[in-house]
Amino acid sequence: MGPDRERDGRRRGTARTVVYAACGAVLLAGCASMPDSGDLRGVESTPRQDAQVRVFALPPHENAQPVEIVQGFLEALTSDDPNYETALKYLTTSAAKKWRPDASTTVLDGGPSTGQVPVGSREDGIDAYAFTLTGGRFATLDSRQSYAPADGQYRETLHLTREKKSGQWRIDELPQGIVMGKSDFLRNYTSVNKYYFASNSPSEPDGQPVSVADPVYVRKKVDPMTQTVSSLLEGPSRWLGPVVRSSFPTGTALKKGVTSLTPDDQNRLTVPLNDKASRVGSAKCTEMAAQLLYTLQDLTPTGVDEVALQRSNGTQLCVLDKNGAELVAARVAVQSPDYQYFIDGKHRLVRVAGGNPDPDDNVSPVPGALGEGEKQLRSAAVSRDEDSAAGVSLDGTSLYVGSLVSGGSLGEPVVTSQGATKDDRLTTPSWDGDGDLWVADRNPAKPRLLLLKKGAGEPLEVRTPGLDGRIEAVRVAADGVRIALIVEKDGLRSLYIGRIERDERSAETSDGSDEAAKSEAAGQKAGEQSVVSVLELHSVTPQLEEVTAMSWAGDSRLVVVGREQRGVQQMAYVQVDGSTPVGSAPTALTGVKAIAAAEDERLPLVAYSEEDGIVRLMSGSKWQKLVKDGSAPVYPG
């Protein structure tokens, strides 16, 4: 066996590939022919297929050689078999019982390269072969289908033996899970947001629970609707689990025997559940239905209009339509702000109507002191209800909070920084969905992430265990349980996502002193002070060495401005799990220093460019200039 060799293009293997399309079934003979001799080559990706095409591999042929068995098995891992039935046929009976393909998915940059390892005969005299699978890691999916970027080398072994009874070669030892190349992963999988409810942050003022997106990847041509519902019922990802809840009782699953879910001709989906859900009340049931409706919204061109939940005995639990779901639970991404905001040439906070296609004559200072120029500002943030705003002074030293009502005054700053330079002082602030204000102090002598309840009072220092570097930018998600941070270390700036955990119990400061007395002195009862932490920060832009700006741009998506090593500045969307969402990136723009997007993806991007000032990108259009003299654009949040 010669050396391993990577190659692009079509993959070869023992399994021929059967493709079912709308016009019928055809055999792609050239896609999977197997050479009679020669080396095993890198298993690169099958060419991208049309969305309506399903690809199936064929089982091993009679007297297939070890090389063909390995190649055919790897081919079968990328097919659209619902339960990997064809891949199982390449295994011995014992190995098939032990193998768990859903344990994980490893995605490699270019697909697994294969090479034979010398193996002697076993003690019982049966011939044996072993093949290594190697490649550069790109990403992984865990057992709950949650995505994470990965790096380093992948190296696993497939062991083959000749079965005594049949005399056929089969794989008898293999790693759990599946492995495939990046292009096959993109062809086979699609990202879907599951929805749960924030559990450790306050609800909306009207008592509605707040929905939180939890992205997972499902196989796009293997009944994705049933996969997604099952994944939702299993519960949230490990990372998000500590800060969200599901209204489905623990252990809830589809009724035994239900293997496929399909909406009827009225776009109504009936979901039969097992006995774990048989006794839920009407309020809990409608929350369960709301989770399903939000989760299934993007799986079909029109979404699912109505969900009916059934008990295992066939009786109805509840019915909820899309309009009803909005009354049951808040989905913040569909709440459109009235205005876009930025700092004008006079260092005032100004605004323009969000949906105005011709804003030239409609830029005006906001009502109140922040728009009247009482203090010159370099950046600002507007509360999500657009009733209040916070502004950072031109020198970055002071943070002021004021009402967006005419005649209001600012008063004293709510936070001050002692940093020696402008770059060592306060970042642009950010409001969460509960009306709390976040800001980072970049003072090298005392770097801090701070939280002000309702934008007032004594700042609370947020705990950031595991943070390695200095925070340069802060944006809190509308759901209040996730936060995006640009972190600088050794001259490199990366984008991190962290989980916000709140503990309302009595706590001690890091030096052991009791905080209760301080809380009471500030008007807060003992035992009610908060401990807020940002935990399990993970990078979502490992390919970028300099992230210049970022903003939330959807339930689980951000827009990022940055550059790769030795690359030029680029603008892209990124998911909170580090994957790249399907679709085109925003049009390139020169010299971008700040970017603003709304969670409502229908609203335009707004950016500050050193060359063009404040510009805006409407859907399906090009960047358009708003004003030349302006900076620091923001949407509410």
pLDDT digits (tens, 9 = 90+) for 414-443: 999 999 999 999 999 999 988 999 999 999
Task: Select the more confidently predicted residue: 360 or 507.
Answer: 360
Q: Tell me the pLDDT tens digit for each residue of 283-295.
A: 999 999 999 999 9
Per-residue pLDDT at 7: 34
* pLDDT for position 10: 33
Question: Which residue(s) pair with 392 in the sheet?
Answer: 379, 399
Mean predicted confidence (pLDDT) in 462-472: 96
The ranges assigned to domains in the chain are 17-189, 219-330, 333-634
Instruction: Give the C-alpha separation, 340 to 553, whole Å.
Output: 14
Q: Is residue 317 within 8 Å of 311, Cβ to Cβ?
A: yes
Over residues 608-633, the pLDDT tens digits come to 999 999 999 988 789 999 999 999 99
Specify the pLDDT at position 229: 98
**pLDDT value at 120 more than 70:** no
- Is the distance from CB of 105 to CB of 147 less than 8 angstroms? no
Computed on alpha carbons and rounded to an integer, the radius of gyration of the chain in Å comes to 28
Give me the percent of the chain exceeding a pLDDT of 90: 71
Residue 151: both structure tokens together = 């790096």
Find tokens 């950072």 and name the residue.
392
Please report which confidence band the pLDDT of residue 16 belongs to, taking 50, 70 and 90 as the band edges.
very low
Closest by CA position to 296, among listed 229, 198, 216: 229
In terms of DSSP bridges, do strands 178-181 and 105-108 run parallel, antiparallel, or are they unpaired? parallel
Rounded to the nearest 5 percent, the helix, strand and coil shares of the chain are: 15, 35, 50
User: Which amino acid appears at position 83 of this protein?
Assistant: N
Measured distance CA(253)–CA(247) in Å, rounded: 13
**How much is the pLDDT for 164?**
87
| CA–CA gap between residue 449 and residue 442 (Å, rounded) | 9
Give the count of beta carbons closer than 10 Å to the beta carbon of residue 282.
9
Q: Transcribe 395-422 into DSSP letters.
A: TS-EEEEEESSTT----S-SEE---SSG
On whether the CB atoms of residues 602 and 336 are closer than 8 A, the answer is yes
Query: What is the reported pLDDT for 504?
Result: 65
Tens of pLDDT, residue by residue over 52-103, are: 577 788 899 999 999 999 999 999 999 999 999 999 999 999 999 999 999 9
Element (H, E) at 242: none
SS (H, E, C) 32-101: CCCCCCCCCECCCCCCCCCCCCEEEECCCCCCCCHHHHHHHHHHHHCCCCCCCHHHHCCECHHHHHHCCH
Q: Is the pLDDT of residue 20 over 60?
A: no
CA dist., res. 289 & res. 110, Å (int) = 41
- What CA–CA distance (Å, rounded) separates 403 from 389? 6
Give pLDDT, residue 167. Answer: 92
Write down the residue that tokens 């300099």 correspond to.
546
SS3 label, residue 602: coil
pLDDT tens for each residue of 579-606: 998 888 898 888 999 999 998 888 899 9
pTM: 0.86
Instruction: Give the rounded percent of residues in the chain with a pLDDT score beyond 70.
Output: 84
Residue 592 forms beta bridges with which residues?
Answer: 609
> So what's the pLDDT on residue 2?
36
Strand 178-181 and strand 189-198: the pairing is: unpaired
**DSSP string of 104-161?**
-EEEESS--EEEEE-----TT---EEEEEEEEEEEEEE-TT--EEE--SEEEEEEEEE
Calculate the average pLDDT of the chain.
86
Could you tell me the two tokens for 88? Answer: 């199982």
If one counts every other C-beta atom within 10 angstroms of the C-beta of residue 238, the result is 12
Tell me how far apart the alpha carbons of residues 479 and 212 are, in angstroms, rounded to a whole number: 6
CA distance between the termini of the chain: 60
Residues 339 and 144: their CA atoms lie apart, in Å, by 39
DSSP-derived pairing of the beta strands 306-310 and 268-272: parallel
Report, as an integer, the average pLDDT of 175-199: 96
* pLDDT at residue 8 in the model: 35
What is the C-alpha separation between 540 and 578, in angstroms, rounded? Answer: 4
Residue 536 has pLDDT above 60, yes or no: yes
Give the whole-angstrom CA distance, residue 330 versus residue 592: 33
Task: Tell me the CATH number of domain 333-634, given options 2.120.10.30, 1.10.287.3510, 1.10.530.10, 3.40.50.300.
Answer: 2.120.10.30
Of the listed ranges 49-58, 133-142, 457-466, the least confidently predicted one is: 49-58
Closest CA to 290 of 261, 263, 329: 329
**Residue 514 DSSP code:** B
Q: Which two tokens stand for residue 486?
A: 């640009």
| Contact status, residue 218 vs residue 232, Cβ threshold 8 Å | no
Q: Which of 484, 477, 488 is nearest to 442 (CA)?
A: 488
- What whole-number distance in Å separates Cα of residue 370 and Cα of residue 401? 8
Q: Containing H/E element for 561? A: strand 557-563
Burial of 39 (0-12, 13-18, 19+ CB in 10 A): middle
Angle at 518 between CA 512 and CA 524, to 5 degrees: 125
* CA nearest neighbour of 113 among 153, 78, 148: 153
- The rounded distance, in Å, linking the Cα atoms of 578 and 573 is 10
